[in-house]
């Protein structure tokens, strides 16, 4: 989401803050549910079910206009949708191989790098260095204890997340309300559909699998998008971006509670360093009157 709002501080911000936290929790626990569903449908099958269900809900609710858009508008929303599909596909391939908390920590390096590059301030070298220390600790000095393919998928998802942020902003400027998001979600679902069918085949038609995939879509897409839209009407985008930096910690908690994925003390410290670097980079952006849009 890339909406921005100006809101009074103080007690009035408690409501929006609660909505954002609820959205973050929903996304990460939806991710944990998706991991538990992978033995039934495969990583690409789960992505396909999530995107299809979310696309149907958003298209029905938003009912975006198909006429009156320029070729440039359509190119933007198509690239946005392709990026969304790639981001989800790469991330789900990652969490099929490495713990959820570690995957989200590596993924968040994409937006962090974008924030550092956008600011072009010397202080961001500190945040970048802090993040690199966290990544070094996360890999135990060489990622020997982690699946390297999973690490590569998580880093690729982070690169797509950074690209997603850019095209989310462009789409938001070209399409009213959430129309662009709904159309992009439809594009992402269509792109992932043949890949999901190729991997999972008839398993995608199992009623239980469809129900669980729909639950993943609601938890990971529909519910958080709705909560974030409501929150951003009263919550400054800068505060929102800082709160989104907590996602690796929330993901680690979801992974532990739902999937039994525990972290070592070193890995927990690494996640804390990446979170601190992300928060610091966002605060630097705020000081320059800029913010980086969080994940939609």
pLDDT tens digit string along 227-261?
876 776 677 666 666 777 788 888 888 888 888 88
Q: Read off the DSSP letter of residue 26.
A: H
Q: How far apart are CA 266 and CA 140, in angstroms?
A: 8
- The token pair at 184 is 């992009």
Per-residue model confidence (pLDDT) at position 285? 61
Q: Does the residue 39 lie in any domain?
A: yes
Strand ranges (E), 180-251: none
The confidence band for 140, taking pLDDT boundaries of 50, 70 and 90, is: low
Domain count, the chain: 1
Q: Does the residue 5 lie in any domain?
A: no
Q: Read off the DSSP letter of residue 218.
A: I
Q: Range of 202's domain?
A: 13-287
The confidence band for 117, taking pLDDT boundaries of 50, 70 and 90, is: confident
Q: How far apart are CA 167 and CA 161, in angstroms?
A: 10
Per-residue model confidence (pLDDT) at position 55? 93
At residue 192, does pLDDT exceed 50?
Answer: yes
Q: Does the residue 3 lie in any domain?
A: no
């Amino acid at each position: 989401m890339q909406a921005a709002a100006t809101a009074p501080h103080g007690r009035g911000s408690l409501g929006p803050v609660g909505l954002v936290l609820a959205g973050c929790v929903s996304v990460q626990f939806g991710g944990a549910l998706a991991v538990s569903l992978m033995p039934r449908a495969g990583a690409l099958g789960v992505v396909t079910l999530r995107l299809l269900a979310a696309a149907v809900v958003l298209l029905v609710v938003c009912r975006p206009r198909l006429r009156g858009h320029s070729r440039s508008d359509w190119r933007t929303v198509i690239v946005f949708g392709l990026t969304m599909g790639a981001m989800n596909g790469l991330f789900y391939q990652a969490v099929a191989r490495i713990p959820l908390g570690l995957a989200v920590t590596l993924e968040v390096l994409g937006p962090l790098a974008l924030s550092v590059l956008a600011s072009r301030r010397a202080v961001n070298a500190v945040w970048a260095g802090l993040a690199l220390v966290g990544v070094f600790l996360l890999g135990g000095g060489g990622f020997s204890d982690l699946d390297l393919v999973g690490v590569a998928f998580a880093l690729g998802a982070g690169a797509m997340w950074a690209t997603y942020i850019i095209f989310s902003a462009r789409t938001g400027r070209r399409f009213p309300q959430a129309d662009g998001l709904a159309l992009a979600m439809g594009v992402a679902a269509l792109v992932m559909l043949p890949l999901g069918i190729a991997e999972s085949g008839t398993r995608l038609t199992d009623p239980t699998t469809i129900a669980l995939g729909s639950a993943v879509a609601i938890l990971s897409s529909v519910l958080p998008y709705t909560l974030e839209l409501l929150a951003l009407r009263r919550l400054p985008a800068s505060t929102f971006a800082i709160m989104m930096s907590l996602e690796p910690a929330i993901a680690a908690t979801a992974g532990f509670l739902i999937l039994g994925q525990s972290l070592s003390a070193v890995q927990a410290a690494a996640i804390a360093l990446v979170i601190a670097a992300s928060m610091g980079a966002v605060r630097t952006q705020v000081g320059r009157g800029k913010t980086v849009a969080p994940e939609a």
